[in-house]
Structure 1
Amino acid sequence: MSVGIVGTGFIGRGWAVCFARSGRAVRLWDPAPGAAEAAKAYIGGMLADLAAADLLGGHAPQNIASLISVAATLAEAVAGAEHVQENAPERLELKRALFQDLDAAASAEAVIASSTSALLPSAFTDHLRGRARCIVAHPVNPPHLIPLVELVPAPWTSEEALTRTEALMRSVGQSPVRLEAEIDGFLLNRLQAAVLDEAFRLVDGGFASAEAVDACMRDGLAPRWVFMGPFETIDLNAPEGVRDYVGRYQAMFRTLTGSMRSETDWSGPVLDRIEADRRNRLPLAGLEARQMWRDRQLMALAAFRRQAPQ
């Protein structure tokens, strides 16, 4: 089986690793001159670290690298592919035009998936003859280290396309979740938006520093949420489970949520304080090194989760 990767930024590179380490041939294409070649070189540079963390499925780095090639054209990238993963910028008209090209170029059997994190699939596939095989498969950055993939159908996406994409994602080691219908932001970003909005509100209201908010997540909520979601967390935090938890604590949370209705302008004066907090802890010149540190931590966590009992 071969996979076409269209768009080779951070997400496209991560997808390439996901598919190649499962033994699939991957062809990269990007409209920007030299971008696909740069992506292949970047991937080659990370493979040794992934192998050291046992995140290449037992394959040698050179074997994974040999499965990833650069296509000269979009048509070449998707020719014969059973799955196409699109990773273009979040611009609706661009997606509509690109999906029209992909629908024309890809084989009739191929599923065409978008990595979009916000655009509804119905907004850029409604005009396509092959719209039934189109779907959103939204990953978390970086997808080769964080397994979640949100599968979002348009109203006309076929059950076959959903089932095939879900099976493919499981076969490459991802953790797919199906949405029953499309909704703005899907699941992950709606949850993330709620947390971020409250985080900005707490700093904007003068209740805490940016670092204090980060610490509450990093050292408080996150250790549990690495292993379980919010519903399992509360199910385990009351003697008789989730219903017992709601009976005990809903009134307390209602008192809190009543003060969480107002919106905060993230780009307003609060941004100056948060940026100052962050730059005090991490100068701008250190961002790239810290991103690499983050990825190494995610590698270690991914390796641990592979060995931990479920």
Structure 2
Amino acid sequence: MPKPERIAIVGAGLIGRAWATVFARAGLDVTITDIDAASLAASRERIRATLEDLRDAGLVGDPAAVLSRIRCAGDLGEAVETASYVQECGPEDAELKSRLFAELEARTGPDTILASSTSGIVASKFNGQMQDRSRAIVAHPVNPPSLIPLVEVAPSPDTAAGIVDRTMALMEQVGQSPILVRREVEGFVLNRLQGALLNEALRLLRDGVASAADIDRTMRDGLGRRWAFMGPFETIDLNAPNGAGDYARRYGPIYRRLDEARDAQPWTAEVIDRLVDQLRSADPIDAHEARCDRRDRRLMALTAHLQHASDQD
């Protein structure tokens, strides 16, 4: 029987702490490290608070037992030297990641998986300083991975097949929902889909079609209700009497015209300023942390509901 994976998390920020929660609640030993001593020192208390919220939502049984599997190490070498899997959670900077992955390679065993949480940088952009590029891979979560299970597993052309298989299996083992990104593409799958939606939302705001609040409401009370448990292809398959082919015949011409009419990218300073003004008029920035907490509690409730619904299917 294979030995349990030993996990190291490089980066004690929001994503790193959430990853630690994912692995520890699945019964694995986790070590967190960070160059910021204050962030590292605060990480266990922040994880403890999250675990208590998860317990209250019925998603974790014993927060103390989970927390006991998480330790902190101020030294990178100490944190990763015995790890079989390293999850890097640093800034979105390819050059910084390139240096870090070369150091991780030097400080870990030859079979250790070196995975990045990057939101859009393909692995071939940060594996260039490694002697053995076969161990580097992307395992991109959705924020926060302790509540949203999708993980995009994105190898480079140099990544060994065994590393891909082990990463996919580990994500399944710890209760995540991995997809395999079969070729390198910036932004992977999730952020390319999210980017298309954000681009159109900003155009609608820019052109005065709807307010930011009403665009959010359209997603929350419209598309989001279905997308909480099915994807766009399943949605259209169920939205026409004879499935997706029937839907394409009925509505494909409309979507083609809409796509052809789209103009240049809308991420201008003027549009972003308008968006920020509308958002801040409804929610001052000093309420941001409390709103994040409220979001997470709602995600916990949704996760518990979806788990229960899945059990009933």
Q: TM-score, normalised by structure 2?
A: 0.96
Superimposed CA distance per residue, residues 68-108 of structure 1 (whole angstroms, 9 cap, x where no aligned partner):
10112111111211110000111111101100010011122
Counterpart Cα distance in 2 of 1:289 and 1:35: 19
Q: Give yes or no for the alignment of 1:281 onto 2:282.
A: yes
Deviations 1:150-177 (A, max 9, x none): 0111011011001100000011110000
Match of 2:128 among 126, 129, 147: 126
Q: Percent identity?
A: 47
The amino acid of 2:56's aligned partner reads A
Alignment gaps of 5+ in structure 1: none
1:67 counterpart residue number: 69
Q: Is 2:35–2:74's contact at 8 Å kept on the other side of the alignment?
A: no
Counterpart CA distance in 2 for 1:87 and 1:300 is: 26
Structure 2 counterpart of 1:32: 36
- Aligned to 1:99, what secondary structure does the other structure show? helix
Residue 228 of structure 1 deviates from its aligned partner by: 0.6
Matched, 1:11 2:28: no
Aligned to 1:307: 308
Counterpart in 2 of 1:41? 45
Task: Give the structure 2 partner of residue 76 of structure 1.
Answer: 78
1:91 aligns with one of 90, 93, 97: 93
- The match for 2:241 is 239
**In structure 1, what is the Cα distance between the partners aligned to 2:15 and 2:97?**
16
Task: Give the Cα separation in 1 of the matches to 2:173 and 2:98.
Answer: 29
In 2, Cα distance between equivalents of 1:228 and 1:171: 23
Alignment-mate amino acid for residue 270 of structure 1: V
Distance 1:190 1:72 in 2: 36
Over 2 Å off, 4+ runs: none
Superposed CA offset, 1:249-278 (max 9, x none)? 1011112222224221x2422222211211
Aligned partner letter, 2:49? G
1:169-226 deviation per Cα after TM superposition (whole angstroms, max 9, x unaligned): 0111100000111101100011111000111111111111111111111111000000
Q: Which of the numbers 255, 258, 268 marks the counterpart of 1:253?
A: 255
| SS of 2:32 mapped into structure 1 | strand
Distance in 2 between the 1:191 and 1:252 partners? Answer: 19
Instruction: State the alpha-carbon separation in 1 of the partners of residues 108 and 300 from structure 2.
Output: 33
Q: Deviations over 1:37-81 (max 9, x none)?
A: 21111101221111121222x3x1111111110112111111211
**Residues of 2 paired with 1:120 and 1:52: CA distance?**
38
Deviations 1:17-51 (A, max 9, x none): 00000011100100112221211111012211111
Per the TM alignment, residue 130 of structure 1 is displaced from its structure 2 partner at its CA by 2.5
- Matched to 2:180, the amino acid is R
Per the alignment, in what secondary structure is the counterpart of residue 27 of structure 1? strand
Paired residue secondary structure (1:207): coil
Match of 1:181 in 2: 183
Q: CA deviation at 1:4?
A: 0.3
**Quick one: which amino acid aligns to residue 36 of structure 1?**
L
Hey, what does 2:297 align to over in structure 1?
A: 296
Would you say the 8 A contact 2:20–2:30 is kept in 1?
Answer: yes
Alignment RMSD (CA, Å): 1.1
In 1: Cα distance, 2:96 partner to 2:277 partner: 35
Distance 1:301 1:252 in 2: 33
CA distance in 2, matches of 1:261, 1:18: 41
Amino acid at match of 1:80: T
The 2-side partners of 1:98 and 1:216 are apart by: 42
SS at match of 1:182: coil
Residue 270 of structure 1: aligned partner: 271
Q: For residues 235 and 99 of structure 2, what CA distance do their matches in structure 1 show?
A: 43
Offset, 1:306: 1.2
| DSSP-derived class of the 1:308 partner | helix
Counterpart CA distance in 2 for 1:80 and 1:270 is: 49
Contact 2:102 2:130 in 1 (8 A): yes
| Partner Cα separation in structure 2 for residue 72 and residue 9 of structure 1 | 14
Alpha-carbon distance in 2 for matches of 1:46, 1:97:
32
